[in-house]
Structure 1
């Protein structure tokens, strides 16, 4: 593994999102002095928070999986997660509702899921699910050490024994056909393939290897932190402060000073910070702007679809909603074609509806509720522009409310007392390429060693972290990216559990594993 040359005593980390906080803790654990610079007044980055009329809206990810990666961040500085953060496993992990009126609770406990599938689709599909679950576990084991949690110096880094194992498992085939070998019910197939949208690729075209996301969601378990998702970066930043990091909030980085290929100082709108190395976690366009260069690639980067998010504070709720509910439209292939090819809004939308107050009522005023409605949409490269979204956004919000009413959430619009609407225009204003918070898509030319590297030519002491670089999009992978960035500086892998050992999170109270 290539590492940063020269002194690395003092590292400046730009961005206090999950990647930056992970990098900070792993750097501190390796004995480095760290200054963390964040333009916002609070940590979190994409995992931010907006407080409105007594409601605490989490503005970023709502699904938390693989909590052992958080535990590794705390362990890097000699702390345990339970010192700072309390997680509750969600049962069910999801509720799936379909256009034909059927409904399926997705359980991570194998027995509970088998019983639910038998009720939903019959005993034959239970047998297929059992084989699918074993395959998902094997796929995860084949990928986690040598692919997901690895720094790549070249495509030749792929040549290891796990590559043959992954190929034998069918990881280089297509996701939808591979899952269809196990289960034939089209509704069930959706439950185990929709996750490829996180990677920015339709299930029919995504590598089967990305079923590892379904493993995280449907086998390893889904959790929710007490105090909401923003409690995660809050806890990580507190641990960093306790371990000696200098945390600078409300400061924007204006430029990087350099001598030759080395960055010698980070200049903010308030001060100049001399440094020995830098970790950049902003989205790739911002990181490359600061570096003054963009790596040459044979093909232009393709971005994932974006999303419209309606954060609604309501005076009532609907008992048919679980903590996480996926409301599938009748269309499926057409939906992905619209999101990734034609650039049009979903004509028959599939929606993620999250109700965090189902688990933590303190996030809303007494008697109130929070509903988070996420509607995938095309990014601004192929769909409506950021400028167009400024007028389109309110109209699309109204159409979403009509759709929710049509799907049985009667009175949803009238129940809203306060709200925050986020569209691709807002993501673009925040510096996210193509107006999407999901960054660069996981197409084959943008996966593994072909993804934008976390080392940048021409900047000898700069490392990238975040969802645009290795290993990719999602809370677990972003946390890993911070550790991988720290390893590029320290030469140390960080806190790692032995291969095959159960994640420490299996000891959490109520965990079905």
Structure 2
């Protein structure tokens, strides 16, 4: 039995702690904040409740496996999990509206064909088929196994171009895929959104990102009743059941090392009160330091008078009418908030989130982080909230008359609550681009120290954070 200290009660830290305690290790979890969940934050006011981080779940099998391996129960025994159907509705840059089914490539192709022309549906489906090739080629080494000591095989993008032959050029970026294979500004907007939601520039990110729309439209999107905070609560309960020593309000200042010269290893952690907590293994779930400039999220929480109308999609994406302006605002030399950005309007059919007869909705936008933009300026935040709400009303104009109040959250709030530099959101790990988009490994140069969470392999996103915990637990092993 090893003494293990986990730093941080984000979802990666909680999941790793539960797995390691289950196999017999003595696990202590130290969290500087008074509560758990990390990015899965929560805001409550006047009987309305909102997720302040991620709101939807992909690949729920990751958390089904966690619950089964740590307590022999189903995920559905711990939370109410619902498939989101339709998967998304879209207001495209030219004003076209299209609704896409959940977990059905055939129905997605049919919907795009009906709205944009049969050729558009065929081209989108063909691109997703090549995204499937990326998924199959990289699923195990990129998601389920530790990053190899020699990651050079993952430096090459496995995306296969539509045309083959000596003269065929493989697309280098996601934007190349759109220009060469989709050839439609409306389809380009659909594809761009998968990059933008993680703060990635489609003009730079490798073509391999096509596995994200393939995965989402093949395997589906899911919602947890009560919001994803309920999932964080379920994983916390599993830690408690496995007798993890949970210490909230306990800040770790640094990892302590020991051993002979040349054979140093992690031997514990130094706490803010000056005491040392000894350990055989230290697992760090804190946000990585030194990551600057990556975009964050602006979130607008909406308390709405009256019940949610029947038939309203859970997720509506309003696309930016000017792609060049949005990319310049996010990734140009002088980052700024885009006045008409790509945004998600989330309206869950969940009576637990609002007082009887009312509705809670959330708008999310990818924005520059705290630093390049001063998100602590109340006037700036208020003005941008006005712009975002006006843009969202293009898709749902009735919201304006029903608004009781709104609350804006910025990358500055994320930074203050989670420690993420600038409030940045970690992206998924991607093959290609000579390894530029691979997350750092879970191991460390210092023996006995491991890293877990969205800032490390296999990258950001709730499912990948859970995979990170699985990988780290496997690296530590059983007693």
| TM bracket, shorter-chain basis | 0.7 to 0.9
Whether the aligned pair in 2 keeps the contact of 1:309 and 1:375 (CA below 8 Å) is yes
Mapped to 1, the partners of 2:287 and 2:355 lie a distance apart of 34
Whether the aligned pair in 1 keeps the contact of 2:37 and 2:232 (CA below 8 Å) is yes
Whether the aligned pair in 2 keeps the contact of 1:52 and 1:418 (CA below 8 Å) is no
Which residue number corresponds to residue 25 of structure 1?
18
Mapped to 2, the partners of 1:274 and 1:152 lie a distance apart of 28
Pairwise CA RMSD of aligned residues? 2.8
Which residue number corresponds to residue 147 of structure 1?
142
1:484 to 452, 466, 471: 471
Which residue number corresponds to residue 392 of structure 1?
380
Residue 266 of structure 1 deviates from its aligned partner by 3.2
Mapped to 2, the partners of 1:91 and 1:29 lie a distance apart of 35
1:329 to 317, 320, 325: 320
Which residue number corresponds to residue 166 of structure 1?
158
Mapped to 1, the partners of 2:330 and 2:315 lie a distance apart of 22
**How do 1:94-173 residues align onto structure 2 when only pairs under 5 Å count?**
94-107=88-101, 108-154=103-149, 156-159=150-153, 166=158, 168=160, 173=172
Residue 133 of structure 1 deviates from its aligned partner by 3.0
Distance 1:123 1:106, change over 3 A: same
Whether the aligned pair in 2 keeps the contact of 1:46 and 1:437 (CA below 8 Å) is no
Whether the aligned pair in 2 keeps the contact of 1:25 and 1:76 (CA below 8 Å) is no
Q: Secondary structure at the match of 1:373?
A: strand
TM-score, normalised to structure 1, is 0.82
Mapped to 1, the partners of 2:447 and 2:313 lie a distance apart of 49
Residue 347 of structure 1 deviates from its aligned partner by 3.5
- 107-116 vs 407-416, which deviates more? 407-416
Deviation per CA, 1:431-468, whole angstroms, max 9, x where unpaired?
A: 544422413786847646x53333333x3211111111
Which residue number corresponds to residue 4 of structure 1?
none
Ranges in structure 2 where 5+ consecutive residues have no aligned partner: 163-169
Whether the aligned pair in 1 keeps the contact of 2:317 and 2:342 (CA below 8 Å) is yes
The alignment status of 1:345 with 2:337, answered yes or no, reads yes
Distance 1:217 1:193, change over 3 A: farther
Whether the aligned pair in 2 keeps the contact of 1:304 and 1:440 (CA below 8 Å) is no
The alignment status of 1:279 with 2:273, answered yes or no, reads no
- 26-35 vs 331-340, which deviates more? 26-35
Whether the aligned pair in 1 keeps the contact of 2:339 and 2:384 (CA below 8 Å) is no
Mapped to 1, the partners of 2:220 and 2:233 lie a distance apart of 22
Whether the aligned pair in 1 keeps the contact of 2:134 and 2:159 (CA below 8 Å) is no
The alignment status of 1:61 with 2:65, answered yes or no, reads no
Ranges in structure 1 where 5+ consecutive residues have no aligned partner: 1-7, 286-299, 493-513
Deviation per CA, 1:484-511, whole angstroms, max 9, x where unpaired?
A: 222232289xxxxxxxxxxxxxxxxxxx
The alignment status of 1:471 with 2:470, answered yes or no, reads no
Which residue number corresponds to residue 267 of structure 2?
264
Whether the aligned pair in 1 keeps the contact of 2:93 and 2:186 (CA below 8 Å) is no
Mapped to 2, the partners of 1:441 and 1:466 lie a distance apart of 11
Paired residues in the alignment total 461
Q: Secondary structure at the match of 1:410?
A: coil
- 241-250 vs 59-68, which deviates more? 241-250
Mapped to 2, the partners of 1:169 and 1:74 lie a distance apart of 39
Deviation per CA, 1:140-188, whole angstroms, max 9, x where unpaired?
A: 111110223332253x23448xx88925468872112224554333212
Mapped to 2, the partners of 1:78 and 1:158 lie a distance apart of 38
Mapped to 2, the partners of 1:172 and 1:74 lie a distance apart of 40
**How do 1:407-418 residues align onto structure 2 when only pairs under 5 Å count?**
407=394, 409-410=396-397, 412-413=399-400, 415-418=402-405
Which residue number corresponds to residue 408 of structure 2?
421
Residue 83 of structure 1 deviates from its aligned partner by 2.2
Q: Secondary structure at the match of 1:451?
A: coil
Residue 192 of structure 1 deviates from its aligned partner by 2.8
Mapped to 2, the partners of 1:312 and 1:283 lie a distance apart of 28
TM-score, normalised to structure 2, is 0.87
Which residue number corresponds to residue 454 of structure 1?
442
Mapped to 1, the partners of 2:381 and 2:435 lie a distance apart of 30
Distance 1:132 1:118, change over 3 A: same
Deviation per CA, 1:293-329, whole angstroms, max 9, x where unpaired?
A: xxxxxxx755421121111111145678511111112
Mapped to 2, the partners of 1:212 and 1:137 lie a distance apart of 6
Distance 1:27 1:232, change over 3 A: same
2:298 to 293, 308, 313: 308
Q: Secondary structure at the match of 1:193?
A: helix
Residue 219 of structure 1 deviates from its aligned partner by 1.8
Distance 1:114 1:442, change over 3 A: closer
Whether the aligned pair in 2 keeps the contact of 1:303 and 1:441 (CA below 8 Å) is no
Mapped to 1, the partners of 2:396 and 2:105 lie a distance apart of 30
Residue 349 of structure 1 deviates from its aligned partner by 1.5
Which residue number corresponds to residue 252 of structure 2?
253
The alignment status of 1:226 with 2:214, answered yes or no, reads no
Mapped to 2, the partners of 1:94 and 1:470 lie a distance apart of 28
Distance 1:91 1:408, change over 3 A: closer
Distance 1:145 1:491, change over 3 A: farther
Residue 368 of structure 1 deviates from its aligned partner by 1.0
Mapped to 1, the partners of 2:342 and 2:223 lie a distance apart of 23
Which residue number corresponds to residue 167 of structure 2?
none
Whether the aligned pair in 1 keeps the contact of 2:39 and 2:418 (CA below 8 Å) is no
